[in-house]
Amino acid sequence: MESPGIRSRDVLIIMLVLGSVWGFFEVVLGGAMKSASIPYKGDLLTGLGIGAMAVAVALTRRALPLVGIAVIAVALKQLAVPILHLQFMCKANSCLAVALAGGSLAGTVAIAGRRLERAIPPRILAGFSAGLIASGAFYFIGMRAAPCRYLLSFNRPGGFVAFMGAEGLIWAALGGVFFPAGYRLGLGVKANVYALRTGRPVLYYTASAAIIATAWVVSGFAIAAGL
């Protein structure tokens, strides 16, 4: 799934920008939603992450960078470890959700291939499937890696089915909505992004660096403030 004219440097920049934006959502928006007691915070953040990765798919036509985007988002979330002197596993479950969403979407995008370029239904199916696979994997891995009180409430006979009904279908539904939306956004800005790279490269690199730096600095201050 290679886009004509795209360079490895462009892919790296897209990964850094979108991974940082996703991490910013996780830290700042997630913290604000938690403070406001907004339900389904984790589900919505996962959906936004899938949307951010969909932008990358439209821009690069590649699946593997999605894993890198998820890794960068996890790294930003882990700023809490040095800033607040927390244990590495303190954010284990939320970081696991991010990583699984990235890996699952990379897999569904690779399988869908160029069908994503031709029609909307494959995009919906790719996002839906990624959310469903990620949530199922989260149940089994999270139950053993760092089980929280909520996840442990499903540790009973039939618990997996109950979890998929309570969480998995929401992850899948949001993936089915946010992936096509993010893909459409990516297609809408693609021409402008690459025109800027070619015609005004200094502005292209400066703007990319500014977005990345802002996401990390603001997230760091938000973490330090207890958000």
Residue type, 63: A
Q: Are 219 and 28 in contact (CB under 8 A)?
A: yes
Tell me which of 146 and 11 has the higher pLDDT.
11
Kindly tell me if the per-residue pLDDT of 2 is higher than 80.
Answer: no
Is residue 157 one of the residues assigned to a domain? yes
Residue 105 counted as domain residue: yes
pLDDT at 5: 60
Per the domain annotation, does 136 fall within a domain? Answer: yes
* pLDDT reading at 149 higher than 70: yes
Confidence at residue 86, expressed as pLDDT on a 0 to 100 scale? 83
The total of structural domains in the chain comes to 1
User: Is residue 81 predicted with pLDDT exceeding 60?
Assistant: yes
Tens digits of residue pLDDT in 101-138 = 999 999 999 999 999 999 999 999 999 999 999 999 99
Backbone φ, ψ for residue 86 (5° rounding): -95, 165
Residue-wise burial string across 105-126, b where 16 or more C-beta atoms lie within 10 A, e elsewhere: bbbbbeebeeebeeeeebbbbb
Range of the domain at 19: 8-224
| Mean pLDDT in residue range 153-176 | 95
User: Residue 93's pLDDT is what?
Assistant: 87
* pLDDT exceeds cutoff 60 at 201: yes
Residue 45, pLDDT above cutoff 80 = yes
192 CA to centre of own chain: 23
Per-residue confidence band for 163, with pLDDT thresholds at 50, 70 and 90: very high
* Domain presence at residue 2: no
- Is 3 within a domain? no
For the segment 69-98, the average pLDDT, to the nearest whole number, is: 90
218-227 pLDDT tens trace? 999 999 998 7
pLDDT, one tens digit per residue, over 46-59 is: 999 999 999 999 99
Mean pLDDT for the chain? 93
- Residue 186 forms part of a structural domain: yes
User: What's the pLDDT at 92?
Assistant: 85
Instruction: For residue 1, tell me if it sits in a domain.
Output: no
Q: Percentage helix, strand, coil, to 5, in the chain?
A: 85, 0, 15
- Cα(171)–Cα(48) distance, rounded to whole angstroms? 11
Between residues 190 and 227, the one the model is more confident about: 190
